Amino acid sequence: MDESREIERRALAVGKWSNLFMAVAGVLTAWLSRSDAMLVDGLYSAVNFISAIAAARIGARVGLPPTRSRPWGHDFDEVLYVTFRSLILIGILVFAAIVSGTKIWTFFTGGEVPELVFGPIVIYSVTIVLICLALAFNYHRAYRKSGKRSALLKTETRAALIDGALSVGAGAALLSLPFLEDTPLGPYVPIGDAVIVMILILAIIWQPLGSFRATLADLAGVSAPGSTHAKVLRAARDLCRDRGYTLHRAAVLQAGRMHYAAVYLDPQKAVTAQEIDGFQSDLSARVEKSLGPTRVEIIVTARGGLPPSPPLLPQKA
């Protein structure tokens, strides 16, 4: 766990400063070129920079033992990070859509739209694409070396690829606008930048929306995927058979890279607390071989199945 955390920390540190450079470069290029697409790209990198700072702190806490103030540990911090990061990215894309929509409206109502300056766009696009590709490779390599269990590194890999794709798409589309001057689309070249932003938003907004939906399920306590639940249930069933216990059911949740498993069983005989602790330790070891870090709790009960629903309160007349 310590080695994985160190690999993750180094990858996030490289990404943090790279995104700061790209954010400053994006905003500066947007100012020099008068391009909304470059502004969106710069703001996206700024979010990545701020997120990298938060991710480094969260990554250092994930997996730490529970405390009095955090009886279930800090594992859900990782899910919160991915959730709010997705919301911020969605907010930036909505802001960009409003800005671009305003420019299009201004154009069609006879207002003046500033002309683009293409020189800074060329330099920025080439530089940023190379940096994003290098970052995505670095994140993915760290993700593999750390056991493919870090939601932080997985999220940052996707973010770097999206940032690179955003730069490629925006740069290529903007640089192609001058070639449309002598075509039927020539009169609309002044709003080509805004149209490109709209197209890019439609292309990439599904990624943060998908991440938000997935992490929202984790925060809501939705059961882990069926394959994950089956692995816990199989390990618990085998171990109960060895000990002569009756297994009622298992409940499994996921929070980022950490899993939570509650196993309900009936020993069918007198047992000591030490024996239950030994069962819990053995089950944790088996589950972690297939799932990775897992917090296992054993509930000794004679009642099988799901808990009964609470009784309905009588309605007032």
pLDDT computed for residue 312 by the predictor: 44
pLDDT computed for residue 310 by the predictor: 46
Confidence of residue 81 (pLDDT cuts 50, 70, 90): confident
Between 257 and 253, residue with greater pLDDT: 253
pLDDT computed for residue 313 by the predictor: 47
162-173 mean pLDDT: 76
Between 300 and 210, residue with greater pLDDT: 300
* Helix (H), strand (E), coil (C) string for the chain: CHHHHHHHHHHHHHHHHHHHHHHHHHHHHHHHHCCHHHHHHHHHHHHHHHHHHHHHHHHHHCCCCCCCCCCCCCCHHHHHHHHHHHHHHHHHHHHHHHHHHHHHHHHHCCCCCCCCCCHHHHHHHHHHHHHHHHHHHHHHHHHHHCCCCCHHHHHHHHHHHHHHHHHHHHHHHHHHHHHHCCCCCHHHHHHHHHHHHHHHHHHHCHHHHHHHHHHHHHHCCCCCCHHHHHHHHHHHHHHHHHHCCEEEEEEEEEECCEEEEEEEEECCCCCCHHHHHHHHHHHHHHHHHHHCCEEEEEEECCCCCCCCCCCCCCCCC
Does 314 have pLDDT greater than 60? no
With 0.95 as the threshold, say if the pTM is over it.
Answer: no
pLDDT computed for residue 21 by the predictor: 92
- As a whole-number percent, the residues of the chain with pLDDT over 70 amount to 92
